[in-house]
Amino acid sequence: MNLSQRARQLTPSATLATAQKAMELKKTGVDVISLTLGQPDFVTPINIQQAAILSIENGEASFYAPSNGIYPLRQAIIDRIETDHGYRYSLDEVVVSEGAKFGLYALFQVLLDKEDEVIIPVPYWVSYAEQVKLADGTPIFVEAKETNQFKVTVEDLENARTDKTKLVIINSPSNPTGMLYSKHELEAIGNWAVKHNVFIVADEIYGQLIYNGNEFTSMIELSDAIRKQTFIINGVSKSYAMTGWRIGYVLGDKEVIKAINTINSQSISNCGTVSQYAAVEALSGPQVSVETMRKSFEERLNTIYPLVEALPGVSIEKPKSAFYLYPNVRQTMTLCGYDNVTAFVDDLLEEAHVAVVSGEGFGTKDHIRISYATNIETIKKGVERIASFIEKKQ
């Protein structure tokens, strides 16, 4: 089959591919421990499930919804943002999307023309560059130095800026590194963006998963000028254990929001109506389950971090947020006779039956991503397997 050029240039998601490999091995009867996936292992809290069931029973879920999202959901998003970040967006500045992922996709589609450049800090979340390419934009990769906790500085951005720079993506808290930009760092980047008329895409999907007394600052909380320069991407997947429901949202300039609505209307029509009713309850109902899950992730981080840090040759700074570790394993690989991180990860799966994701999917060659969105026993067993693999190979 003659696939389009667009389809041919796409790279499949590295995280999904590794998870798939682990699943296939599991199906053959092998006891595989998977530390790959970016989703909470909790089921959706019961009050959210019940809201969905109610919308089915009373018939609301049977029908198409408005393409920009049901009114109560847009209202609930605006209220939650105001409560959490102190600024009230208007109804025409919010659009509901099929997960944060499709919100990003639609945003790139409406903002980018051929040759527009998008600055993407490396390591990056797997889908940014591919989505930019799908919109005919050009990804410009900028190293976010490990010595600076994988965060870019204004100087890094300025070195990458050209007259074609349209957007910069800031993902704080970060997948895959779990690092957080401080308010001061975000302000500096925001002012740089305003000065040079570069728009910011702030992917804040992990903003409620912050640990050990660290603090999250949203781009929303900075100056009016910075907020106007910014598109916020968020959703209910990670904080409310709702990855399967596919509800995200985009906030920002109303003309852009309207254009995303048009994309929705001509592609998906609307996000699943039942999911939207569930998301209303998530955002406006009791928030206690968010805190319960956050605490559980914090405990897991505090358990797994010292175990991973103690692995021979590994260097890692303690993450502050999200649910990933991104250790540098260059020295470990050398000890074990590897020079390619994907080969190292492949053998970890095949020989030690533990699945992690190669850093190559996130744009770096010396790292692996370990997800701790699973129970503590599995986490411990997984790290033990990595430790015995290293011991055997040394």
**Considering the rule CB under 6 A, would residue 100 count as an interface residue with ligand PLP?**
yes
Of the residues 68, 217, 218, 237, which one makes contact with ligand PLP according to CB under 6 A: 237
**Considering the rule CB under 6 A, would residue 229 count as an interface residue with ligand PLP?**
no
C-beta atoms surrounding 46 within 10 Å: 9
Give which of 393, 210, 394, 386 is closest to 310, Cα–Cα.
386
CA distance 251 to 265: 17
**Considering the rule CB under 6 A, would residue 239 count as an interface residue with ligand PLP?**
no
Shortest distance in whole angstroms from residue 203 CB to ligand PLP: 5
Q: Is the Cβ of residue 239 or residue 332 nearer to ligand PLP in the bound state?
A: 239
Of the residues 33, 70, 205, 274, which one makes contact with ligand PLP according to CB under 6 A: 205
**Considering the rule CB under 6 A, would residue 175 count as an interface residue with ligand PLP?**
yes
* Whether the Cβ atoms of residue 125 and residue 132 lie closer than 8 Å to each other: no
**Considering the rule CB under 6 A, would residue 101 count as an interface residue with ligand PLP?**
yes
**Considering the rule CB under 6 A, would residue 125 count as an interface residue with ligand PLP?**
yes
Among the listed ranges 20-28, 95-103, 155-163, 307-315, the one in contact with ligand PLP (CB under 6 A) is 95-103
Q: Which amino acid is at 123?
A: P
**Considering the rule CB under 6 A, would residue 137 count as an interface residue with ligand PLP?**
no
Rounded to the nearest 10 degrees, how much is the dihedral formed by the CA atoms of 166, 87, 180, 203? -40
Signed CA dihedral, 83, 84, 86, 90: sign only: negative
CA distance 215 to 233: 19
* Whether the Cβ atoms of residue 180 and residue 321 lie closer than 8 Å to each other: yes
Of the residues 44, 172, 217, 243, which one makes contact with ligand PLP according to CB under 6 A: 243
Shortest distance in whole angstroms from residue 130 CB to ligand PLP: 13
Q: Is the Cβ of residue 84 or residue 384 nearer to ligand PLP in the bound state?
A: 84
Q: Is the Cβ of residue 171 or residue 321 nearer to ligand PLP in the bound state?
A: 171
Give which of 3, 49, 85, 18 is closest to 240, Cα–Cα.
49
Of the residues 171, 270, 371, 374, which one makes contact with ligand PLP according to CB under 6 A: 171
The residue ranges that bind ligand PLP (CB under 6 A) are: 38, 99-101, 125, 171, 175, 203, 205, 235, 237, 243, 248
